[in-house]
Amino acid sequence: TVRSARHLYGESKPIGIGSLTLKKRFNPAATVSKDRILTKDQRFDPRQQTAFAAAFTLGSIKTLAQSDVNYITLFQTVGSQGILSSTNEKYPVYDVLREIISGGSEVIHTHSTQPLDVDGMLLQKDSVYKLMLANHTSGVKQVMFRKTLFTLQPHEIRVEKV
């Protein structure tokens, strides 16, 4: 874990996570070296092109940022494992990353009572705050933030200035 790495190395070394993907890129249990590297079809996950990947990415970035990770490598840029299709179509994860990049330079610590169902990331830039909420489930969920109730549709990502 990030906490274990930080305990071992302190601040003397940066901690990075990569590559964050929905499916594994190789098979570490393979007994034959040619089976270690998975084919493109084996690495393909149809959820990459859906709101599921966007919610997964938001939750992962929020958790890793609050764990004091220095950098994260995400997906591929283009292709079936990317944020854009080979025809330049934007997958939902693209929009999440765009919002995070434009949202601010600091992640403010937030806590969800049900992080596997719904979670949020609060970004600050100067005196402007952006709240990004993610519903990780296939059901409708309600989230309370600073006395405001938000209703999120299945796998919805909601962005609010707060």
* CA distance linking residue 94 with residue 21, whole number of Å: 14
How far is the C-alpha of 124 from the C-alpha of 137, rounded, in Å? Answer: 26
Q: How far is CA 107 from CA 52, 74, 113, 130, in A?
A: 22, 18, 18, 10
> What local confidence, expressed as pLDDT, does residue 87 receive?
95
Dihedral sign from CA coordinates of 159, 47, 117, 125: negative
Q: What is the pLDDT of residue 105?
A: 74
User: What is the mean pLDDT of the segment spanning 29-57?
Assistant: 79
Q: Which amino acid is at 1?
A: T
- Residues 114-133 have a mean pLDDT of 94
Which amino acid does the sequence have at 45?
D
pLDDT of residue 103 exceeding 80, the answer is no
**Poorest-confidence range of 5-9, 14-18, 30-34?**
30-34
pLDDT value at residue 75: 87
56: amino acid identity, one letter? F
Q: Is the pLDDT of residue 16 over 70?
A: yes
pLDDT computed for residue 26 by the predictor = 61
Q: Is the pLDDT of residue 71 over 70?
A: yes
Within the chain, residue ranges assigned H as helices are 2-9, 40-43, 51-66, 92-103
Residues 73, 148: Cα–Cα separation, whole Å: 34
Q: What rounded mean pLDDT belongs to the chain?
A: 88
pLDDT of residue 151: 97
